[in-house]
Amino acid sequence: MISGPWCADPGRRTSAPSNFGGKGSACANREGGGSGAGQGGPYVFSFELLLDAVVLGVLLGCFYAAVSLGLSVAFGLLDVPHVAHPAFLVLASYAVYVLNEFYGIDPLLAGLLITPFLFVFGLAAYRLYYETFEKRGSDAGVRGIAFFFGIAFIIEVLIILQFGVDQRSVTAPYIGKAWRIGDMRIPYRLVVAFAVAALLTTLLALYLSKTFMGRAIRAVAQDQEALRLMGANPIRIKQWAFGIATAVLGIAGALLIIVAPVDPTLDRAYIGRTFCVVVMAGLGSMTGTLVAAIILGVAESIVLTLFGASWAPAISFAMLLGVLAVRPQGLFGRRS
Q: How far apart are CA 283 and CA 34, in angstroms?
A: 40
The yes or no reply on residue 34 touching other proteins (CB under 8 A) is: no
Q: Are 301 and 53 in contact (CB under 8 A)?
A: yes
* Closest distance to other proteins from the beta carbon of 168 (Å): 17
Which residue, 110 or 292, is less far from other proteins as judged by CB? 292
Q: How far apart are CA 208 and CA 216, in angstroms?
A: 8
Q: How far apart are CA 27 and CA 11, in angstroms?
A: 14
Q: How far apart are CA 303 and CA 305, in angstroms?
A: 5
Could you say which of 12, 311, 332, 334 contacts other proteins (CB under 8 A)? Answer: 311
- Interface mask toward other proteins for 42-71; x: CB under 8 A: ------------------------------
Name which of 264, 289, 124 is nearest 202 in CA terms.
289
- Interface mask toward other proteins for 218-247; x: CB under 8 A: ------------------------------
- Segment 62-121, which members bind other proteins (CB under 8 A)? 75, 81, 83
Q: How far apart are CA 64 and CA 272, in angstroms?
A: 11
- Interface mask toward other proteins for 129-168; x: CB under 8 A: ---x-----xx-xxx-xxx-xxx-xx-xxx-xx-------
Give the H/E segment covering residue 188: helix 188-210
Tell me the site size for other proteins, rule CB under 8 A.
Answer: 45
Q: How far apart are CA 252 and CA 268, in angstroms?
A: 16
Could you say which of 15, 176, 214, 306 contacts other proteins (CB under 8 A)? Answer: 15
Q: Bridge partners of 103? A: none
String of DSSP letters for 42-104: TTS--HHHHHHHHHHHHHHHHHHHHHHHHHIIIIIIT----TTHHHHHHHHHHHHHHHHHHH-
* Closest distance to other proteins from the beta carbon of 305 (Å): 16
- Interface mask toward other proteins for 182-211; x: CB under 8 A: ------------------------------
The yes or no reply on residue 17 touching other proteins (CB under 8 A) is: yes
Binding segment toward other proteins, per CB under 8 A, in 167-175, 181-189, 254-262, 323-331: 323-331
Binding segment toward other proteins, per CB under 8 A, in 194-202, 238-246, 271-279, 294-302: 271-279
Q: Are 155 and 87 in contact (CB under 8 A)?
A: yes
Give the rounded distance of the alpha carbon of 326 from its chain centre. 23
Q: Which residues bind other proteins (CB under 8 A)?
A: 1-2, 15-17, 75, 81, 83, 128, 132, 138-139, 141-143, 145-147, 149-151, 153-154, 156-158, 160-161, 268, 271-272, 275, 279, 310-311, 313-314, 317-318, 320-321, 324-325, 328, 336
